[in-house]
Amino acid sequence: MSDQPAAEARPTDPVAVVRAFLSALERLDIDAALGYAAGDIVYQNVPLPPARGKAAFEKQMRFLARYGSGFEARVHRIAADGPVVLTERTDVLAARPWRAEFWVCGTFEVSGGRIVLWRDYFDWTTVLAASARGGVEALAHVVRSTVGRSARR
């Protein structure tokens, strides 16, 4: 019997891989998320150009973790057809008091327990509106905090 702890079993079922991947992103655990990415992963927010390869993908995920303070993927529906997993979800991006929530449809392709394709589709007008709303709410938070501090002096 070994004194070593048992290695955590990694899922290989495509739906389980996608769920574990999104969960790692929600924790902003980029290293864990990268563990689910294939070396030749393609990541794209349509219609922006795709990030091709793990290094390009990692750069975008590290940017998310560096400048964001939170991410949530509320999965409403998830379905698989072999290695292809489709999601309907609400994504929540946060950067301190700023938050934006918007609907996303995602396509994932999984091979050998690793994501080889992640492509998200969303309405850019909705994202911009959510971002603006988040900016107004963040500004209101700052104003309330400033007024509250002034009143206590």
Q: Which two tokens stand for residue 36?
A: 């689910």
Q: According to the model, what pLDDT value does residue 54 have?
A: 97
What pTM did the predictor assign?
0.81
Residues in the chain: 153
CA separation (Å) from 103 to 48, 87, 152?
A: 17, 10, 41
Catalytic residue among 29, 31, 120, 123: 120
The answer to whether 116 touches 41, Cβ cutoff 8 Å, is: yes
Q: Active-site residue 3, yes or no?
A: no
Q: Active-site residue 91, yes or no?
A: yes
Q: According to the model, what pLDDT value does residue 13 have?
A: 95
Q: According to the model, what pLDDT value does residue 4 have?
A: 43
Q: According to the model, what pLDDT value does residue 6 have?
A: 43
The answer to whether 28 touches 70, Cβ cutoff 8 Å, is: yes
Catalytic residue among 3, 29, 81, 91: 91
Pick the CATH number of 14-152 from 3.10.450.50, 3.40.50.300, 3.40.50.1970, 3.40.1390.10: 3.10.450.50
Q: According to the model, what pLDDT value does residue 150 have?
A: 59
Average pLDDT of each block of 10 consecutive residues along the chain (153 residues)?
A: 52 95 95 97 94 96 87 97 98 87 96 97 78 73 68 60
Closest alpha carbon to 18 in 97, 68, 66, 78: 78
53-59 contact pairs (CB < 8 A, 24+) = 58/30, 58/34
Q: According to the model, what pLDDT value does residue 146 have?
A: 73
Q: According to the model, what pLDDT value does residue 153 have?
A: 61
Q: According to the model, what pLDDT value does residue 148 have?
A: 62
The answer to whether 26 touches 75, Cβ cutoff 8 Å, is: no
